Structure 1
Amino acid sequence: MDSGNHTHFILAGFTLSPVLKTLVCTALIIIYILSVIGNLLTIITTSVDQHLQAPMYFFLRSLATLDVFFISTTVPKLLSVLVGTDKAINLSGCLLQLHLYLSGGGTVFYNLGVLSIDRYLAICHPLQYNTIMTSELCWKIVPCIWILGFLEFIPAILLMSRLHWGSSNIIDHFFCDTSALLRLSCSDTYVIETIVFYVACFPILSTLVLTIFSYFFIISSILRIASSSGRKKTFSTCSSHFIAVIITYGCCIFIYIRPAGTMTLGVEKPVAVFNSIITPFLHPFIYSLRNQQVVTSLRRIIKLHN
């Protein structure tokens, strides 16, 4: 294929033995199904139960919807790559997948930041919480973070669509990630790499700062609770949220908040698996299924339909 004429690429995926490939495909299918079911249960339970109409559950519904969307941008195509049925992807499909992946990931960070602020207000300012965090405000916040998340990467994607491509059309990744795709271009990609770097930094670092400050005040407030059982209950809820935050931010900072070309794809791909597949799988179990109110409501719903 001549330079600059690529319309299709081939996703290399992972080099695995037939036995290991079967095990990985089976694990991916199970993880994907459990992730979709777990997040759908969160959406349904917090939507139909009148006891779960607090702002936190509104933001959890948004996060669960994002997680279903986010994991679906990579897993179906990865499965087709692993089984060898469809490793090809055209340029438009590749850029669309990249845009959906980056936008979904960026919106997840905004959602986690909002959840952190919500927990801060609920724990540190309980008397003013209902006055500040109204349903009207929630309905303004969520559409705004979705719109911002899905618009901010469009300039970089449009610039990528104008690139010329070299002699190789093999993307050494399991999806169209930025670094793997730009390695194939024979054009100057410095401007695009810079844009992606700073645009990715904004949702990650801005919400990380909000989260750190929120949890600093949350932990300080928990330590001032006189009852040991009260401290334990509050800390149990917040600790699970904090674990999810560490995992999500850690993976993305490791992948994106660094100079281009400083990490081999052999290291980046396993971290990308954790970020794009394992994290949305863990979210419903960390945020919802460890929440006693959600579990109780889920049991109530199941009993009503039996």
Structure 2
Amino acid sequence: MERKNQTTLKEFILMGLSDDPTVKILLFVIGLLMYLFTVAGNLAIILLIQIDQHLHTPMYFLLNNLSFAEICYITTTMPKMLWDLSSGDKTISFAGCMVQMYSFLTTAATEGALLSAMAYDRYAAICHPLHYTILMSQPTCKWLLAASWIIGNLNAMVNTAFVFSQNFCSSNKIAHFFCDIPPVLHLSCSDTFLAEMGTFIISGSIMITTLILIVLSYFLIVSAVLRIHSVQTRIKTFSTCASHLTVVSIFYSTAIFTYMRPSSSHSTGKDRLISILYTIITPFLNPLIYSFRNKEIRTALLDILGRKKHCVL
């Protein structure tokens, strides 16, 4: 048998979004503004929750940690992408690619688990208001937070191990702007069937389980709200869930489309476009969704701005 000449790759090249200099400048400016807004917006939500005593509730404890996870989430990909666009240096070391994938998968799965915990919080508040303080006690909130990060790290640990246990011996050009599972596996010269099935099962199990918990929570919420006779009370109750449902819809639709498809259906252009939605657009929209569609956040912000204006005068 003839043995193939295999060499161990020491670095990868991220092909990015475009090679056109004009387009790269435009992408850098837009990307930088979106990154700064996302970080600033989520930091503002965290500060508001810390400052305003009225927001020291389980719901906002989880939102506070979701905002922190969003900052970590977008930071795993955007700074490297912006550096590549500005410097033209598209290389990333083997270890750097592994760390980026691990960090991205951790924060992505953690965000999904936190969204599930927030759905449970809404269920407890609406369906069991008299027992809410017991169901969402401080120890319970801390347990939900810890469980979310544990799930995120286990997801990243297993999937990263599956991907980087492969042999990479030919091309080192990743047709993407960050080290995601499908484009990195595409470079492998090994049989990737077991790795693809492993990542599909692990990521799929987490996504489907958390999504089922969210759907079940909202099914029970809707059932409880429909028993309320007052239309105005129904609308007010549903409005408390509107922001969360919007974020869930965007996050899960793009994630499922990316990771729950067979490898044969992946295409470079389509995958890049979808990945922009879940890595950049979703974290960018979240502060807007939770500020403009959340009455208590708006009230807290206006209250702080009003007090600051009064102090200046």
TM-score (norm 2): 0.92
Q: Which residue of 1 aligns with 2:27?
A: 24
Deviation at 1:304, TM superposition (A): 4.1
Q: Which residue of 2 aligns with 1:13?
A: 16
Q: Which residue of 2 aligns with 1:118?
A: 121
Q: Which residue of 2 aligns with 1:272?
A: 275
**1:216-256 deviation line (CA, Å, top 9, x unaligned):** 22222223323222222222232232121111110001000
Structure 2 distance, partners of 1:58, 1:91, is 37
Q: Which residue of 2 aligns with 1:65?
A: 68
Q: Which residue of 2 aligns with 1:215?
A: 218
Structure 1 distance, partners of 2:18, 2:150, is 37
Unaligned runs of 5+ in 2: none
Q: Which residue of 2 aligns with 1:245?
A: 248
Give the aligned residue type for 1:39: N
Q: Which residue of 1 aligns with 2:95?
A: 92
Q: Which residue of 2 aligns with 1:48?
A: 51
Q: Which residue of 2 aligns with 1:3?
A: 6
Matched, 1:293 2:278: no
* Identity over aligned pairs, percent: 39
Structure 1 distance, partners of 2:284, 2:139, is 30
Indicate how the Cα distance of structure 1 residues 155 and 131 shifts in structure 2: closer, same or farther if over 3 A, else same: closer
**1:281-301 deviation line (CA, Å, top 9, x unaligned):** 112222344211112222333
Matched, 1:150 2:168: no
Matched, 1:198 2:201: yes
RMSD over equivalenced CA pairs, Å: 1.7
**1:171-200 deviation line (CA, Å, top 9, x unaligned):** 110001111111111122222211111111
Structure 1 distance, partners of 2:261, 2:289, is 28
Q: What is the 5 A alignment of 1:250-265?
A: 250-265=253-268
Give the aligned residue type for 1:171: I
Deviation at 1:119, TM superposition (A): 0.5
Structure 1 distance, partners of 2:216, 2:164, is 39
CA contact (8 A) 2:11 2:92 kept: yes
CA contact (8 A) 2:102 2:156 kept: yes
Describe the SS at the equivalent of 1:175.
Answer: coil
- Picking from 75, 83, 87, the partner of 2:86 is 83
Structure 1 distance, partners of 2:220, 2:290, is 20
Structure 1 distance, partners of 2:229, 2:23, is 53
Instruction: Tell me the number of residue pairs that the alignment of Structure 1 and Structure 2 aligns.
Output: 305
Structure 2 distance, partners of 1:220, 1:286, is 25
- Picking from 233, 236, 250, the partner of 1:230 is 233
Deviation at 1:166, TM superposition (A): 2.5
Structure 2 distance, partners of 1:64, 1:10, is 31
Unaligned runs of 5+ in 1: none
Deviation at 1:121, TM superposition (A): 1.1
Indicate how the Cα distance of structure 1 residues 216 and 162 shifts in structure 2: closer, same or farther if over 3 A, else same: closer
